[in-house]
Amino acid sequence: VLPFPSQVVYNRVGKCGSRTVVLLLRILSEKHGFNLVTSDIHNKTRLTKNEQMELIKNISTAEQPYLFTRHVHFLNFSRFGGDQPVYINIIRDPINRFLSNYFFRRFGDWRGEQNHMIRTPSMRQEERYLDINVCILENYPECSNPRLFYIIPYFCGQHPRCREPGEWALERAKLNVNENFLLVGILEELEDVLLLLERFLPHYFKDVLSIYKNPEHRKLGNLTVTVKKTVPSPEAIQILYQRMRYEYEFYYYVKEQFHLLKRKFGLKSHIRKPRPRPEFFIPSPLETEEPIDDEEEDDEKWLEDIYKR
């Protein structure tokens, strides 16, 4: 029996499918008997040193096995003398994530079109109906740096420089992905993410894919889709892409690592056929479709090494 971790942290990135995954975790925690620890704090991802110490203390004393989830930038437990848990996360195409958040803040989702009034009650009407192209092309704060530097800090951590768009934060985020995260998946290939989570963490995720594919769960998941989303102009998309170049470098890095992991376990990365009206005109690296078959390392030995980190 492999030493599966009894402490897992899902420091979920906003608008990257986390509500879907949390719905699954609630079902799985009852099914498998692990302790799902969630937080009601959704808008405080950066913490002071004392807040970090307090949160780490509270997490570390939770009944094990536990899975803790919250929108929070990476926390270094070992810095405060705690045992470093296994981290998991999911990210998505940065522009898609930004647009989902932009329209969700304004118009909510299918759970109730008025729920945006609860989330953003102070938003003025002219701001709520601000055209996305105007926001981008006229350089409104919401559509410019550093507001667009969103995904990387979740992996870089709590250091103040993690919030500054640049190489330092990017490289630190990559390092943490390699050293502290068991899996960082991409939302565009969610079923494969769930397959790997079930393989790596069966005590938590066994049968997750069958639950996810269940029509009743799909019905619930559809309610979390953001409404009234529109696609910006190609010019606006290109401007966003330039402003988010560090986010895209990180996204492509994670995507490449995720595909390597998939090939290692025999999952092929299929290139989707382009849609009649593609959402974005952004180039992406070529993906190898065939699984790598020259890896001699035993799969279970590889997993064991991961868990000992």
pLDDT digits (tens, 9 = 90+) for 83-109: 999 999 999 999 999 999 999 888 876
Indicate the number of domains in the chain: 1
Q: Give the pLDDT confidence score for residue 228 in this predicted structure.
A: 75
Residue 154 lies in a domain: yes
Whether residue 228 lies inside any domain: the answer is yes
Q: What is the predicted pLDDT for the residue at 286?
A: 34
- Residue 292 inside a domain? The answer is no
Contact call for residues 27 and 194 (beta carbons, < 8 A): no
Q: Is 193 left (phi over 0), alpha (psi -120 to 50) or beta?
A: alpha
How high is the pLDDT of residue 195? 96
What average pLDDT does the segment 155-182 reach? 97
* Residue 298 scores a pLDDT above 60: no
Determine the pLDDT at residue 225. Answer: 64
pLDDT (tens digit, 9 = 90+) per residue, 276-290?
A: 433 444 444 333 333
Could you give the CA distance from residue 213 to residue 216 in angstroms, rounded to a whole number?
A: 9
Report yes or no on 142 lying in a domain. yes
Active site residues: 71
Mean pLDDT of the residues in the chain: 85
Residue 287 lies in a domain: no
- φ, ψ of residue 257 in degrees (nearest 5): -65, -40
Q: Average pLDDT for residues 125-147, to the nearest whole number?
A: 94
86-91 and 7-10: which strand pairing? Answer: parallel
- The answer as to whether 279 is a domain residue is no
CATH number of the domain where residue 153 is located? 3.40.50.300
Return the pLDDT at 284.
43
Angle in degrees, 0-180, between the axes of helices 245-264 and 167-180, rounded to the nearest 10? 20
In a domain, 284, yes or no: no
Of the candidate ranges 73-87, 148-162, 207-221, the one whose mean pLDDT is the lowest: 207-221
Most confident of 123-137, 164-178, 271-285, 293-307: 164-178
Per-residue pLDDT tens digits for 224-263? 566 678 899 999 999 999 999 999 999 999 999 999 999 9
Burial class (CB in 10 A: 0-12, 13-18, 19+), 211: middle
Range of the domain at 115: 7-266
Asked whether residue 283 is domain-assigned, the answer is no
pLDDT (0 to 100) of residue 230 = 87
Taking each continuous run of H as one helix and of E as one strand, the counts in the chain are 15, 5
